[in-house]
């Protein structure tokens, strides 16, 4: 193994001298490697991918880049292994150079903030495509095009995967990409090597303190985006205190072209005359003292705030007001973000990713008038993620108890934590814990709540949103809130569906064996109660696995 290299130029020169073909792909995952590719490995918080170097070499990797610090413990001797000092910080620069600096051709619109990043990124891409400008997306929902996203497993992918994704978008004709810039991603150099055209800030509320330690460090991580070399534009939501009191002055001092948005105060882009409709909201958008009427299929003031941010981002992309308003009329809610199911003769189920105190508060505030208009109660089913910031758990419970009529505590992604311990942390935040329902199994919680709620009620199922797995004790099990909600609504007689429709709800991993047009007449999770024509849903719980039946 070589003496450790210290600069990106030295690493690239070495890799090229090793005869690595120019078309070789770089990867941080040995399972994605092909012969002649480059494997990149640096230690992480949970594991050290350098342990997979033998697999990379066996797969035919032409070069393997590893973090030099601590590498001596692995005893590597293969000539294809290149040790690099500070590899994590250099990885983005290296991958960007290898792929021909894709962000110079695919201009990046980066969005940061505690909540709203996913919706803003997706809506920005939807709107730009509607305006005739090819725009990809990279974020929580995946990487690719708005209607064809492939999961990366991260809000902001690792820098090697990110540069590869941008290169793919460039090859497919993208000229823009809306990207979520998470606080952790910024600290971990995941956007290294990227040129960023515009940066937008949604809000700052409590989350990720297990990683950052305190709110000051969390805020500083977000602020990094607005000090990005070469950044030209900033879009700030002035309804957020940190944006109004800190970021605004900072961005102006840096000479950035700043646009501001707000619902509660005057800004470059603000909204007036907000009226809730049966399917969304109607409002007047004011920009440059010109008023524009707009009706949108989204619920919640927070979503209007997100849409104003998108409008300002579209302006940085060169669109005029008429183009912006026309493009905004085409946007559709992101999967698992205030996603509405049922509601006609059944409870209205709402799937949302809200997993912070602020997000849960805003989602419930948005649904209170909906429940009132339906003359029903507002239910809230939620849990809290394991191995994450424990300080937010009682705060989430307080928000739910304050705003919901009925609270159902259940599991989220417990990960390595015991689910009952997380539930106790949530209970500690309730003034009247005896009034809450505890149903540890999330599938059962959804099924029972939607079975007991009246047809007038609204049921918020919060925390997991678009996710199609649930992580329990180190295993990721297939799980979709939307699927289980649809099953529960169907069990109430909300209307028949075909197996092909059920396949679409579950996702790409589902396979129909037999006639895809078969329509069950009922849904059952108890094999002892099955009748001819019913659909049996096999649930895997912590005590039993219905697949055995």
Least confident of 157-171, 183-197, 222-236, 267-281: 267-281
The per-residue pLDDT for range 281-300, each reduced to its tens digit, is 999 999 999 999 999 989 99
Place of tokens 């505890």: 438
Share of the chain above pLDDT 90, in %: 82
pLDDT, average across residues 98-112:
98
Reply yes or no on whether the pLDDT at 190 is more than 70: yes
Domains with residue ranges and CATH for the chain: 8-98 (3.40.1390.10), 102-328 (3.40.1190.10), 339-494 (3.90.190.20)
Q: How confident is the model at residue 48 (pLDDT cuts 50, 70, 90)?
A: very high
Considering Cα of 39, then 42, then 43, then 44, what sign does the dihedral take? Answer: negative
Tokens of 171: 């090859």
pLDDT, average across residues 363-384:
96
* pTM, to two decimals: 0.83
- How far is residue 218 from each of residues 62, 118, 205, 214, measured CA to CA in Å? 39, 19, 9, 6
Considering Cα of 541, then 455, then 352, then 211, what sign does the dihedral take? Answer: negative
Q: How confident is the model at residue 542 (pLDDT cuts 50, 70, 90)?
A: low
Reply yes or no on whether the pLDDT at 211 is more than 90: no
* Beta-sheet pairing, 38-41 with 63-67: parallel
Reply yes or no on whether the pLDDT at 534 is more than 80: no
Q: What pLDDT was estimated at residue 510?
A: 63
Interatomic CA distance for residues 159 and 451, integer angstroms: 45
Of the candidates 38, 40, 175, 153, the residue with the CA atom closest to the CA atom of residue 102? 175
pLDDT, average across residues 121-141:
97
Q: What pLDDT was estimated at residue 354?
A: 95
Partners of 296 in the β-ladder: 281
DSSP-derived 3-state class of residue 485: helix
Reply yes or no on whether the pLDDT at 526 is more than 90: no
pLDDT, average across residues 272-283:
87
Place of tokens 């940061």: 112
- How far is residue 301 from each of residues 274, 283, 358, measured CA to CA in Å? 9, 11, 13
DSSP string, 495-547: ----HHHHHHHH-TT----S-TT---SEEES-GGG--TTEEE---B-SS-BGG
Q: How confident is the model at residue 280 (pLDDT cuts 50, 70, 90)?
A: confident
pLDDT, average across residues 292-318:
95
Tokens of 272: 């007036």
Q: What pLDDT was estimated at residue 401?
A: 98
pLDDT, average across residues 65-85:
95
Q: What pLDDT was estimated at residue 509?
A: 55
* Mean of per-residue pLDDT scores for the chain: 92
pLDDT, average across residues 220-239:
97
DSSP string, 188-257: TTTTTT--EEEEEE----S--HHHHSSHHHHHHHHHGGGG-TT--EEEEETTSHHIIIIIHHHHHHTT-E
Of the candidates 287, 285, 286, the residue with the CA atom closest to the CA atom of residue 296? 285
The per-residue pLDDT for range 441-463, each reduced to its tens digit, is 999 999 999 999 999 999 999 99
Q: What pLDDT was estimated at residue 504?
A: 58
């Amino acid at each position: 193994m070589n003496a450790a290299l210290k600069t990106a130029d030295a690493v690239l020169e070495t890799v090229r001298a090793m005869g690595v073909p120019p078309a070789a792909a770089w990867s941080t995952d040995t399972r994605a490697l092909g012969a002649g590719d480059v494997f990149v490995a640096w230690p992480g918080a949970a594991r050290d991918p350098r342990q997979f170097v033998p697999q990379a070499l066996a797969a035919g990797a032409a070069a393997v880049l590893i973090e030099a610090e601590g590498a001596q413990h692995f005893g590597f001797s293969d000539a294809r292994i290149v040790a690099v000092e500070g590899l994590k910080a250099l990885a983005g620069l290296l991958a960007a150079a290898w792929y021909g600096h894709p962000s110079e051709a695919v201009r990046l619109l980066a969005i940061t903030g505690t909540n709203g990043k996913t919706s803003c990124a997706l809506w920005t891409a939807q709107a730009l495509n509607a305006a005739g400008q090819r725009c990809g997306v990279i974020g929580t929902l995946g990487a690719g095009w708005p209607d064809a996203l492939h999961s990366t497993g991260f809000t902001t992918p690792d820098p090697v995967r990110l540069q590869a994704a941008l290169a793919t978008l460039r090859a497919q004709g993208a000229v823009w990409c809306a990207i979520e810039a998470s606080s952790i991603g910024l600290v971990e150099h995941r956007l290294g090597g990227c040129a960023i055209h515009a940066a937008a800030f949604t809000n700052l509320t409590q989350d990720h303190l297990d990683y950052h330690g305190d709110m000051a460090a969390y805020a500083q991580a977000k602020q990094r985006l607005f000090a990005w070399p070469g950044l030209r534009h900033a879009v700030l939501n002035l309804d957020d205190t940190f944006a109004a009191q800190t970021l605004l002055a900072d961005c102006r001092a840096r000479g950035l072209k700043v646009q501001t948005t707000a619902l509660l105060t005057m800004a470059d882009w603000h909204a007036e005359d907000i009226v809730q409709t049966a399917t969304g909201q109607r409002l007047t958008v004011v920009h440059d003292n010109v008023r524009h009427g707009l009706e949108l299929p989204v619920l919640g003031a927070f979503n209007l705030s997100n849409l104003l941010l998108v409008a300002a981002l579209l302006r940085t992309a060169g669109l005029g007001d008429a183009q912006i308003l026309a493009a905004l009329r085409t946007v559709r809610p992101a999967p698992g973000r205030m996603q509405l199911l049922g509601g006609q003769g059944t409870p209205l189920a709402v799937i949302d990713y809200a997993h912070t105190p602020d997000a849960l508060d805003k989602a419930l505030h948005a649904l209170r008038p909906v429940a009132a208009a339906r003359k029903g109660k507002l239910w809230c089913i939620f849990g809290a993620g394991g191995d994450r910031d424990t300080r937010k758990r009682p705060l989430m419970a307080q928000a739910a108890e304050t705003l919901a009529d009925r609270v159902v505590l259940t599991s989220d992604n417990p990960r390595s934590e015991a689910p009952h311990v997380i539930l106790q942390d949530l209970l500690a935040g309730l003034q009247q814990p005896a009034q809450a329902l505890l149903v540890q199994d999330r599938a059962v919680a959804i099924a029972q709540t939607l079975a007991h709620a009246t047809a007038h009620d609204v049921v918020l199922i919060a925390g997991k949103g678009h996710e199609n797995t649930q992580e329990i004790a180190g295993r990721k099990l297939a799980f979709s809130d939307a699927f289980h909600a649809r099953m529960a609504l169907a069990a109430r007689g909300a209307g028949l569906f075909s197996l092909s429709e059920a396949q679409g709800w579950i996702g790409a991993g589902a396979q129909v064996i037999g006639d895809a047009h078969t329509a069950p007449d009922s849904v059952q999770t108890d094999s002892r109660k099955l009748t001819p024509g019913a659909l049996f849903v096999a649930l895997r719980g912590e005590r039993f696995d219905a697949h055995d039946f």
